[in-house]
Amino acid sequence: MPELPEVETIKNDLAKVVLNKKISKIIVNDKKIIKSSINYFAGILKNNSFKEINRAGKLLIFQMSDKKNYLIIHLKMTGQLIYLPRYDYQVIKGKGMEGLVAGGHSLDKEAKIPGIGDKLPNKYTRVIFEFKDEARLFFNDLRKFGYLKVVGGNELKKIVSEFGPEPLSIDFKINEFRDILVNKKTSIKALLLNQKIIAGIGNIYADEILFKAGIKPGRKVNSLKMKEIESIFKSIKTVLKKAIKYRGTTFSNFVDTRGRRGEFIKKLKVYKREGEKCLRCRDGVITKIKIAGRGTRFCKSCQT
């Protein structure tokens, strides 16, 4: 479930290790994952390198050094990008056991999360990038909703233009948020999940943001008072920033580029806490209902 904070964490980590390194080989284990023709995809990327990495909402954008092309990667629900430098793996060969094993310190052997503590590639590895220095980048995806695609500048522009404002941009101010909400008849939860309206918020952070703001997720947007809009706006900024600080949330599948969990799971106030006591009012119990087709958690007594 990578949302903005998880994708931001991956982006920042990868930018420290893969930029300007020549890509020597591309291995595609599952063609369905690549939304370009395989020959085109591999042809553009091979012997190329990543010049810089950006993020639009939950989408990763790798600008190529050829200055013409971009690799875009969407992790959807169970995608992972795991990076192993040469010094951190041993190559195992023979008896169908070919693969790489992390050197020990970085991958969590106790974890029951695919991608953590596993041999790589594992059964969910769909694409592998090999760099000239023998480091490897693995794209794993259990459910195969994620994708990779090579696009040019014009197509990228079009894709990025579909996204609503970046919530953590300093240019995203209360007035713009207020204007976005005008005349909307949907629930505030559905609105926060809509990438065309605001980019990067998913199910976990939508619930956490509305808890912090003290607003019921089912509230119709056009019923919100200015004070409530301000409260939601502030909560968007603080919750997302804090989640980035804690390197995201690992509930089921998310790991960072070194196979580590995100620690924001310890800070969750409502997500997956249904039936438990509210951490704020200590009166209410966290309730779970369905809004916008999604499991939605909130405190009945202190969210109004």
Partner DNA sequence: AAGATTGTTGCTTA
Partner DNA sequence: TTAAGCAACAATCT
Question: Per-residue string for binding with DNA, 33-72, x by CB under 7 A?
Answer: ------------------------xxx-------------
Q: Which of 54, 106, 122, 195 binds DNA (CB under 7 A)?
A: 195
In the region spanning residues 8 to 37, those forming contacts with DNA, defined by CB under 7 A, are none
Q: Is 248 in the site for DNA (CB under 7 A)?
A: no
Q: Is 77 in the site for DNA (CB under 7 A)?
A: yes
In the region spanning residues 149 to 188, those forming contacts with DNA, defined by CB under 7 A, are 162, 184-187
b/e per residue 262-286 (b: at least 16 CB within 10 A): bebbeebbbbbbeeeebebeeeeeb
The H or E element spanning position 208 is helix 203-213
Q: What is the residue whose two structure tokens read 């390194």?
A: 21
User: Exactly one of 11, 58, 260, 273 is catalytic; which is it?
Assistant: 58
Residues 109, 185: Cα–Cα separation, whole Å: 48
Residues 8, 61: Cα–Cα separation, whole Å: 11
Residues 286, 300: Cα–Cα separation, whole Å: 7
Is 67 one of the annotated active-site residues of the chain? Answer: no
- Give me the torsion for CA of 176, 233, 199, 172, rounded to 10°: 40
Is 112 one of the annotated active-site residues of the chain? Answer: no
Q: Nearer Cβ to DNA, position 74 or 136?
A: 74
Contact between residue 256 and residue 248 where contact means Cβ atoms under 8 Å apart = yes
Q: What is the residue whose two structure tokens read 């438990």?
A: 276
Q: Nearer Cβ to DNA, position 23 or 215?
A: 215
Is 110 one of the annotated active-site residues of the chain? Answer: no
Closest distance to DNA from the beta carbon of 274 (Å): 8
Q: Nearer Cβ to DNA, position 39 or 183?
A: 183
The binding site for DNA (CB under 7 A) comprises 1, 3, 57-59, 74, 76-77, 142-145, 162, 184-187, 190, 193, 195, 202-204, 251, 271-272, 288, 290, 292-295
